[in-house]
Amino acid sequence: MKIDRQAVFNKYNGHCAYCGDVLHPKKWQVDHKWPKNLAYLRPDYDIDSPENLMPSCTKCNIHKHGMPLDRLDYVAGGWRVVLSNQLSMLRKNAQFDRALRFNQIIIEEKPIVFYFERFKG
Could you report the per-residue pLDDT of 68-108, keeping only the tens digit for each? 999 776 666 799 999 999 999 999 999 999 999 999 999 99
Q: What is the distance between the alpha carbons of residues 74 and 93, in angstroms, rounded to a whole number?
A: 32
Residue 79: name the closest of 99, 98, 56 by CA: 56
Say if residues 87 and 109 touch (Cβ distance below 8 Å).
yes
Residue 83: name the closest of 112, 40, 51 by CA: 112
Residue 60: name the closest of 23, 107, 108, 5 by CA: 23
Is a pLDDT exceeding 70 seen at residue 45?
Answer: yes
Could you report the per-residue pLDDT of 46-70, keeping only the tens digit for each? 999 999 999 999 999 999 999 999 9
Q: Structural domain tally of the chain? A: 1
pTM of the model: 0.89
Q: What is the distance between the alpha carbons of residues 10 and 15, in angstroms, rounded to a whole number?
A: 8
Q: What is the pLDDT of residue 74?
A: 63
Q: What is the pLDDT of residue 2?
A: 84
Average pLDDT of the chain?
A: 93
Q: What is the pLDDT of residue 76?
A: 66
Is a pLDDT exceeding 90 seen at residue 118?
Answer: yes
- H or E segment to which residue 68 belongs: none
Q: Which domain holds residue 97?
A: 5-118
Q: What is the dihedral of CA 87, 89, 95, 98, to 10 degrees?
A: 50
